[in-house]
Amino acid sequence: MLKINNLHASVEQKEILKGLNLDIKPGEVHAIMGPNGAGKSTLGYILSGREGYEVSEGQVEFHGEDLLDMAIEERAHKGLFLAFQYPVEIPGVSNMAFMKESVNAIREQRGETPLTATEFLKKAKEACKQVQLSLDFLKRGVNEGFSGGEKKRNEIMQMILLEPSLCILDESDSGLDIDALQVVANGVNSQRDGKRSFIIITHYQRLLDYIKPDYVHILANGKVVKSGDASLATDVEKEGYAFLGQDNAEEKNA
């Protein structure tokens, strides 16, 4: 479903990704780990099309199409979802109105009829329940005055509603206490249906105790330096990223 081939990308003339390869099949869960500054979040942004990143080399294929050629919203229509590390506020726009527009924009692109207010509300209530957010959150402005944990759960709620084919979770575990972490993990696990794929970007192994990945990739210095199964994450947790060598230790300290 997603094929990344020799991806090179830079921000403000600084090369962040230096020949990244990744192949994700339907239903797979891939964890991307790595030290700070390795390019983990950059990967999420490039895949979702955020401006300010320049791809100098390589290709990305998504459902057999050229992903890099699509507008941000087109990628979303094709089923790509990014759960943000730092979700931004949109004051005055209710979560409910925002998500209804969003769901219906995507349904329209798929040739489905838009959900009525009642149909949508039913789904939204269920999604709220799954991530243990009270229904008040539907009425409140998008992320307006939400705590860090509430924002992260709100992202998962959106993911559940949008039914994407590829979910990229950008440090959805950062800043969460253990209870919230479990809520987020349960939300994700409930969406694993054998077809939907996940890229889980995380700094720690902790989240992977709850969401069991099929593959773990260590990203360092703009490349995947090591891939393995879930046990690789445990190794990293024990030994740190020290095994990556001198080059990277410097970058980490920079």
Partner 1 sequence: MSEQLDQALSRKYDAGFVSDIESETFLPGLDEDVIRRISAMKEEPEWMLEWRLRAYNNWLDMEEPEWAHVHYPKIDFKAISYYSAPKSMADKPQSLDEVDPELLRTYEKLGIPLYEQEMLAGVAVDAVFDSVSVVTTYRAKLEEAGVIFCPISEAVHKYPELVKKYLGSVVPRSDNYFAALNSAVFTDGSFVFIPKGVRCPMELSTYFRINEENTGQFERTLIIAEEGSHVSYLEGCTAPQRDENQLHAAVVELVVMDDAQIKYSTVQNWYPGDENGKGGIYNFVTKRAICHTNAKVSWTQVETGSAITWKYPSCILKGDNSVGEFYSVALTRGRQQADTGTKMIHLGKNTRSTIISKGISAGNSNNTYRGLVHMGAKAEGARNFTQCDSLLIGDRCGAHTFPYIESRNPSAIVEHEATTSKVSDDQMFLCQQRGLDPEKAVSMIVNGFCKEVFKELPMEFAVEAGKLLEISLEGSIG
- Asked if residue 106 binds partner 1 (CB under 8 A), the reply is yes
Q: Which of 64, 91, 111, 145 binds partner 1 (CB under 8 A)?
A: 91
Query: Of the two residues 163 and 235, which places its CB atom closer to partner 1 in the complex?
Result: 163
CA–CA distances in Å: residue 251 to residues 180, 201, 243, 246 = 31, 19, 14, 9
Both tokens of 78, joined, read 């094709």
**Residue 98 is a binding residue for partner 1 (CB under 8 A):** yes
Check residue 165 for interaction with partner 1 (CB under 8 A).
Answer: no
Helical residues (DSSP H) of 64-147, grouped into ranges: 72-77, 95-109, 117-130, 136-139
Q: Which of 198, 196, 195 is nearest to 185 (CA)?
A: 198
State yes or no: residue 50 binds partner 1 (CB under 8 A). yes
* Residue from the set 12, 13, 14, 92 that interacts with partner 1 by CB under 8 A: 92
DSSP states of 224-253 as a string?
EEEEESHHHHHHHHHHTTGGG-HHHHHHHH
Q: What is the largest CA-CA distance in the chain?
A: 58
- Per CB under 8 A, does 111 bind partner 1? no
Q: Which stretch binds partner 1 (CB under 8 A): 83-91, 114-122, 187-195, 204-212?
A: 83-91
The residue ranges that bind partner 1 (CB under 8 A) are 48-51, 71-73, 75-77, 81-82, 84, 87-88, 90-93, 97-99, 101-102, 105-106, 109, 141-142, 158, 162
